[in-house]
Amino acid sequence: MEIIPDGEKIVIQIEPFEVKILGDLANQLLDITSPNSEVVENEDPLAALIGIDALAEKPTDPISTRLFPDAYPDDPQASMEFRRFTERSLRETNVNRAKSVLADLQGQTQITLGTDQWQLWVGFLNSLRLALGTRLEVDQDTWTQERSESDPLYQIFELYNWLTWMQETLISIGYFRED
Amino acid sequence: MTLTATATPTDTLPDLDLESELDRPWSTTVWDDPINLMTYVTYVFMEYFKFSKEKAGYHMLLVHTEGKATVSTGSREAMERDVAAMHTYGLWATLAKD
């Protein structure tokens, strides 16, 4: 993969195997972030219309907890209320980003990103890194460490580093280019 | 936060308006996490809060070195909007009454 500036835009040159990997990751992120369809079927249509999820629950797994955190550190009840009003839309934002990236990847070897698409990609990559980094239990020192190829999480670690490079490059070229 | 870029604290501190601080009982805190990139956090502060690059970098470094930083103060409703926006960017943010 190469990421290069092209005037106001950014061009990503991408190999077919990278399209496959990013596509697989986008689909996994969709699985994690899609609103629960059962909830959608049973809910109050008016509440759904304005984005309230009456049946929202505090997540139990570490990845969802990181992607959908509590808003009030010492007030579970207020956090739950906040979740009912915001989690649906947060999930939908994640779903839209992943679907948008999947559409960009469709049969492409070269993807040109304008500002709007750039934002979607950066947000998508951030959610993916949050998911993978949580799975890897990344801490402040991890990023400097090598993992051995016999480590069962080695491939996820390599993917995480690749996504980090991609996000960092997109931000430095797309947002801090004048520096 | 992951350190992949060299950054130095600037000596430009944000202006504090004490008068208006007293009228504003709620605040939004962004917490350090080991995954979000320093450049990304700076970008989010500039983009969403319209901080200057220096102010955004200062708050990003506060998060990184102190473990957290207050990024906005105001009404509860306004802070809930800010926290929801931070969550959309993937930053770990909470609100509390000061």
Tokens 């051995």 sit at which residue? A148
A48 versus A156: the higher-pLDDT residue is A156
Candidates B3, B91, B94, B97, partner chain A, best to mutate (most A CBs within 10 A): B94
User: Residue A85: which of A55, A65, A130 has the closest Cα?
Assistant: A55
Q: Do B36 and A123 touch (CB under 8 A)?
A: no
A contact set with B (CB within 8 A): 66-74, 82, 86, 89-90, 93, 122-123, 126-127, 129-130, 133-134, 138-140, 142-143, 164, 167-168, 171-172, 175-176
Check pLDDT > 80 for residue B22: no
User: Residue A10: which of A102, A104, A96, A98 has the closest Cα?
Assistant: A104
Structure tokens given for B89: 């960017």
Confidence band, pLDDT 50/70/90 cuts, at residue A177: confident
Q: Which of A50-64, A83-97, B12-26 has the highest mean pLDDT?
A: A83-97
Q: Does B84 touch chain A (CB under 8 A)?
A: yes
Of B40, B87, B96, the CB nearest to A73: B96
Rg (CA), chain B: 13
Q: What sign does the dihedral B53-B63-A97-A36 (CA atoms) show?
A: negative
A59 versus A164: the higher-pLDDT residue is A164
Q: What sign does the dihedral A171-A174-A63-B50 (CA atoms) show?
A: positive
Q: Work out the mean pLDDT of chain A and round it to a whole number.
A: 89
A151 versus B10: the higher-pLDDT residue is A151
- pLDDT tens, B36-88? 999 999 999 999 999 999 999 999 999 999 999 999 999 999 999 999 999 99
Query: What pLDDT is recorded for position A148?
Result: 85
